[in-house]
Amino acid sequence: MSRGIFAALSPSDCRLCAAPLQNISRLPVCEECIAAIQPIVTETCGVCGEALPALSGGGAARGLCSACQETPSLFAKAVAFGAYDEQLRELIHLLKYEKIIPAAGVLGKYLLQAIQKLDPPPKVLIVPVPLHSSKRRQRRFNQAELIARAALKRMGGDRAQFASDVLKRVRPTVSQIGLTRPQRRDNIRGAFQVVHLNRVEGRSILLVDDVLTTGTTASECARVLRKAGADQVWVATVARTLKIAGRAFEDDRQFEQQAS
């Protein structure tokens, strides 16, 4: 969908499909669009969460994708609620680029479902992937933090602690989309720093973000957190690009560029 369509929408139309809204809600998205958002049901890699090719032998039989078999992952396990495609992708865009803050509430609900699949140890430290200060100033919020807070609100009790200030993005990076694997690694290397080592040492960390695309960002965060003494690092995201739904990537670059 082109961004131009929004200009023609009335405030009482769904921001995803343009159908008139039946109920007044803080989130201008219709019930049909929300109902279309479903969790991943295909078989996924037990480490990184990528879709596994059906009925192939070898690694798939052991539940790991070929990349995770070749190179041991820096994080223990990554899970996502849904595929980064269709309505879920548009809902994330609504928050990030259209700045419709109430979208964080429903995205937090999905994130919680991803977290529940992981079943992290009690008292896990939830760390949202940080934005660089320049990006945060421009966007005015960190979507990962808003979504994580919404998930935590639903989680309740002392299942987890929240720390949005232990990990810092010290170097701005360009979008990872369209870069080769070595380019992505160069782009992200040294971009993060742990600023409160005492709060990370010996802790289990649950890194959270809106989308996992290549996993390079999550891997680099896991690397610096473990170097700072973190015990294990888990990753939960609302969405994940899957090879079967991989077409979503390329035009996200345009959204990032338009937004900056």
In terms of CB distance, is 44 or 142 closer to Zn ion?
44
Q: Of 48, 111, 228, 236, which one interacts with Zn ion (CB under 5 A)?
A: 48
Q: How far is the CB of 201 from Zn ion (least distance, A)?
A: 28
Instruction: Select from 25-33, 147-155, 178-186, 210-218 the region that touches Zn ion (CB under 5 A).
Output: 25-33
Instruction: Select from 1-9, 24-32, 99-107, 243-251 the region that touches Zn ion (CB under 5 A).
Output: 24-32
Q: How far is the CB of 19 from Zn ion (least distance, A)?
A: 5
- Residue 33 as a binder of Zn ion (CB under 5 A): the answer is yes
Q: Of 37, 45, 146, 211, which one interacts with Zn ion (CB under 5 A)?
A: 45
Q: How far is the CB of 14 from Zn ion (least distance, A)?
A: 3
- Residue 68 as a binder of Zn ion (CB under 5 A): the answer is yes
Alpha helices in the chain (DSSP H): 5-8, 31-35, 59-62, 66-70, 86-96, 103-118, 133-139, 143-155, 181-188, 197-200, 216-227, 249-259
Instruction: Select from 27-35, 118-126, 172-180, 187-195 the region that touches Zn ion (CB under 5 A).
Output: 27-35
- Scan for tokens 């078989």, then name that residue: 43
Alpha-carbon torsion (38, 244, 55, 50), positive or negative: negative
Residues 200 and 225: beta-carbon distance below 8 Å: yes
- Residue 65 as a binder of Zn ion (CB under 5 A): the answer is yes
Instruction: Provide the β-strand partners of residue 160.
Output: 124
First-to-last C-alpha distance (Å) of the chain: 20
SS3 letters across 175-194: CCCCCCHHHHHHHHCCCEEE
Instruction: Select from 7-15, 122-130, 165-173, 239-247 the region that touches Zn ion (CB under 5 A).
Output: 7-15
